[in-house]
Amino acid sequence: MNIGFIGTGNMGSIIATIVSKAMPDSNILLSNRTREKAENLARKLIEERKSLSGPEAQTGKIQATSNMKIAMEADYIFLGVKPQMMEGVLLELSAILKGRMQRANQHFVLISMAAALGIEEIHKMLACRCHVIRIQPNTACLIGEGIILYSHGDELLEKEVDTFLEMLAPAGIVQKIPENLMDAGCAISGCGPAFAFLFLEALSDGGVACGLKRDEATNLAAQMLAGAGKLLLTTGKNPSELKNAVCSPAGTTIEGIRALEQHGFRSAAMEAVIASYQKNELLRKR
């Protein structure tokens, strides 16, 4: 199987790395506006495959190539292209992809990572109804603790969805969501890591202000956030219930909660999610 990646920026590279590990017998085709970036990623993925399977193992090929070659040969084509650039990229590939659709046994699936760009919009840009999956991953996918939200049209075959899920399974949670809720979900799972890092940094600053060394404070904050999230997922309890369990009467934690509430902590977190969601809506209308 040939799997192509058009756009090997930060998220495109993360997804290519995941897929390369999950599908070691598949050929990986990489292209980028700056070819050197695709070539560097190809070398990295080749070395990773060798380290996992041994230098003598028979695995699929990995190479940097062109958008055109990927459009002609790939069975699954990941589009790691910014929304404002998508129309130009698809226009260049439209004739090739429409030609493939008209030939027997030339099924392919486009997988778009572009924020605020819906499946129907991609169909319109290509002037054909090819098989499209829309995804919204986050950066934690690289370590197998991420979230990939996805949606697709009714035209997709069950085996195509199964293969898609197989190639992205190492990323963490791959969760189907109605497309009309994709932007709302992304405002939490996609933008949320940046919010969490900001909170983590602030906790670290507070620890330093109280006398901890920077690395000690940062490590404590990071482990605390990781553990709190896992506790919630493992127990299935309501966040409020878990919060209340930490807050002893007249204790230190409830004083910290009071300080957060005085400064509008919950309102600020809600507004961050809403602002990210609304920005997606603005991008969609352009």
| CATH number assigned to the domain comprising residue 116 | 3.40.50.720
Q: Mark out the alpha helices in the chain (DSSP H runs).
A: 10-22, 35-53, 67-73, 83-101, 119-126, 158-168, 182-189, 192-209, 214-235, 239-246, 252-262, 265-285
H helices within 74-213, ranges in order?
Answer: 83-101, 119-126, 158-168, 182-189, 192-209
**What radius of gyration do the chain's Cα atoms show?**
22
In a domain, 187, yes or no: no
CA 28 from centroid of its chain's CA atoms: 18
Does 65 share its domain with 20? yes
* Number of domains the chain contains: 2
Global pTM?
0.89
Inter-axis angle of helices 10-22 and 35-53, to 10 degrees?
A: 30
CATH code at position 207: 1.10.3730.10
CA 145, 42, 76 angle in degrees (round to 5)?
70
Contacts for 239 with CB less than 8 Å, ≥ 6 apart: 232
Residue 224 tokens, joined: 């605390």
On whether the CB atoms of residues 280 and 115 are closer than 8 A, the answer is yes
Q: Which two tokens stand for residue 49?
A: 């495959």
* Cβ proximity of 149 and 189 under 8 Å: yes
207 shares a domain with 265? yes
Residue 259 domain-assigned (yes or no) = yes
C-alpha of 69 from chain center: 25
Percent of the chain with pLDDT over 90: 81
Domain around 217: 192-285
**54 or 178, higher pLDDT:** 178
272 and 154 in a common domain: no
pLDDT tens, position by position, 218-272: 999 999 999 999 999 999 999 999 999 999 999 999 999 999 999 999 999 999 9
Q: Please identify, among 177, 206, 228, the residue that sits at the C-terminal boundary of a domain.
A: 177
Q: Which two tokens stand for residue 17?
A: 């790395």
Reported as a single tens digit per residue, the pLDDT across 164-196 is 999 999 999 999 999 999 999 999 999 999 999
Does the residue 152 lie in any domain? yes
27 and 61 together in one domain: yes
